[in-house]
């Protein structure tokens, strides 16, 4: 699909915009564009949230700190 996007030229983009204007009209097209932008923004937000959750779940710094504290406790006992 990425290759298709890369091969679209200016003429094709103008044609797509023209067809969209003819099908949906000039009043409805901005509403659709806003809706699409909101949807893309929400997808981006969810993606970032998932990335942060994965990073925080795989972050070993807390576990390593707990392990070092436990190690220090055993050192003090000896």
**Residue-level pLDDT at 45:** 94
Question: What's the rounded Cα separation, in Å, for the pair 34 and 40?
Answer: 10
**Residue-level pLDDT at 5:** 57
11-19 CB contacts, 8 Å cutoff, 24+ apart: none
Q: How confident is the model over 19-28, as a mean pLDDT?
A: 86
Q: Side-chain half-sphere of 60: how many Cα atoms within 13 Å?
A: 3
Contact (CB, 8 A) for 32 and 24: yes
Tell which residue, 28, 40, 8, 37, has the closest CA to residue 20: 28
The model's pTM is 0.50
Q: How confident is the model over 30-37, as a mean pLDDT?
A: 89
**Residue-level pLDDT at 1:** 46
Q: Domain locations in the chain?
A: 2-77
Which tens digits make up the pLDDT trace of 36-76?
A: 899 999 999 999 998 888 777 766 666 677 777 778 787 77
């Amino acid at each position: 699909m990425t290759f298709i996007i890369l091969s679209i030229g200016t003429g094709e983009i103008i044609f797509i915009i023209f067809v969209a204007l003819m099908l949906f009209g000039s009043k409805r097209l901005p509403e659709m564009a806003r809706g699409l932008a909101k949807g893309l923004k929400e997808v981006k937000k969810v993606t970032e949230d998932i990335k942060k959750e994965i990073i925080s779940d795989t972050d070993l710094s807390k576990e390593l700190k707990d392990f070092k504290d436990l190690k220090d406790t055993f050192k003090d006992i000896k």
